[in-house]
Structure 1
Amino acid sequence: MNNAPLLQDAPIDALLVLSFGGPEGVDDVVPFLENVTRGRGIPAERLREVGKHYFHFDGISPINELNRSIIDRLKREFVRRGIELPIYWGNRNWHPMLEQTVAEMTADGVRRALVFGTSAYGGYSACRQYHEDIARGRAAVGDDAPDLEKLPQLYANEMFVAANVAAVEAAYAKLQGADFASGTRLVFTAHSIPETADAEAGPEGHLYSEQLRFVAAQVADRVGAAQWDLVWQSRSGPPHIPWLEPDICDHLETLASDGIRSVIVAPIGFVSDHLEVVWDLDTEAAAKAIELGLGFVRAGTAGSDDRFITMIADLIERRLGISDNVQELCPFLQGATGVGVNGTVCAPGCCGAQRSD
């Protein structure tokens, strides 16, 4: 375990982008899934079955290329603003692995870095597991590892909400005859988690599901959708464990039976169009909509919007003391700076340590 003292007087000298990772070829799929399920002893044959969605796309997850795009755009924004921080990239489950990245940062002389985790919400998998990743990465290097401070959750950031509003408006424009007043329903989606994990995903009033509902309400109000739904996708795990419901495909059946003619599906729970978006929504949900005779348009995710990059840079400038352009829409996050250093949790009671996958 790394017990080196905090370098509180050291300047922040780098940014680490920390993400989930994904395979980039057929031969990567099973080793990647072995990393995802590390410690559970799942046979390779079972992992090949679980990985069928990856094999459908030739073993390539979009997530790594999407993260490269975010990093490239962020570098350009740093140049524009005069922020002189090198950007490193590490993943939980695939190359570049976080442990290797922290070792590289140490060799480069980085002493104190901010960490941007590519998830917007609180909860175990969305936030606390990133703290565990940070602690594991530093422990692999030892006492010379840099201090790593995670940037705050961003679900209630004005820029994040505005990016999702723009995505819904663009989807609305593509759906001929769309009318939120009659016949078209706005449906928000996010990754389902076990109900027990949701109950431990934040302080009272700020559970994972409530964070999603907050963002959904903000977006729906701004696009003029009086009726909207928040549903779930990407469930995994034993069927006897209750997870957040309904599933998006089940919900489409309900909407069709209620006379809804078309849907706009907005994946506000995700920051980029990675595999769970392109499979669960663009493939399975889109096919279900065709089967039901529903018009279907999937809105984009916030990460492709320039406001997403602006938001990250604003959060960094606030932490550096350069400016405070950050507008938080939720009192729980107003004034938040770094949340958790060297793998410590954000705040007492913020989320439990249960697995949600």
Structure 2
Amino acid sequence: MVSLSVDVWLSAPLAESAARAKQLLELGVDGVFTFEGAHDVFMPLTLAAGSGVDIMTNVAMAFPRSPMHLAHAAWDLQALSGGRFRLGLGSQIRTHIERRYGSAWSEPVERMRDTVLAVQAILRAWQHGDRLDYRGRFWRHTLMPPQFDPGPNPHGAPPVLVGALGPRMTAMAAEVADGLLVMPFNTERHFRERTLAAVAKGRGDSTRPFEVIVEAIVAMGDSERELFEARRAVRNLLAFYGSTPAYRPVLEVEGWADLQPELNLLSKQGRWREMAGLIDDPMVDALTVSGTPAECAALIRRRFGDSAARVCCYFPGYQVSDAAIAELVAALHS
């Protein structure tokens, strides 16, 4: 039986980030991750860096940030955590990049490729003393005076991962990044038929180290009532994801493509409760991992155990007990 490393969302008030990370470590969790929601993606990890768990952005939005900003944040978190940091980057969608971040959007796959290569070039320059001379399509980094060079990191350069769903972004990540963060809105069929095929295409004959980290939306409970509440909560998230055109291919694989424009229309009308009502039980079963901790562990193992060594578990919108987390982690470690 394959042992899987487990990361969970560092969901805690900012001031409690370090304490919560230590609690999760005591539960057996291998790492914690943050994402760009209502708060900064890096600051909680700064506080949690000394807890002993692995830390990861999952994901930091790449396009509104300079590769230099990303490299500095990654370098310092790698040092603070003792070499346990992963920089996960994501593209988001055009509406958010342009209207929420006020940044530029174009050719997302090529822009992400350029960002990853630029960050890696900066990290190499610091780690190995290479002359910084990166000239890409979107980024240009050719100046690194000694006053701004942090010097070699005692723990090595941190890995750069890319969050992806579509085949082109996934293949690009497999070609140039250090790892892939498989987006959580996924089904076993889509993962096996499309994600893994795109990874194989991007990797080609490469023997360069590369890790696949899967993400799972988990609806978990020990009792019927707990499980009911968990499944009700994840329906809201699935409806939100499903309304986004970029996620339509996942629904398409399962024969649910017509649901996406219907959800999208309701989202524009603010009819969120009705959206969740369109997510039926078979959809919840396919798009999430649902059941008791032991059942969830078995499902994660069946879907991903032969393709990934690490899983990020996400418990959105409902309370999950520490005891249940510990049981899930123990089952995945066994």
Q: TM-score of the superposition, structure 2-length normalised?
A: 0.29
Q: Which has the higher helix share?
A: 2
Larger relative contact order (C-alpha < 8 A, sep ≥ 6)? Answer: 1
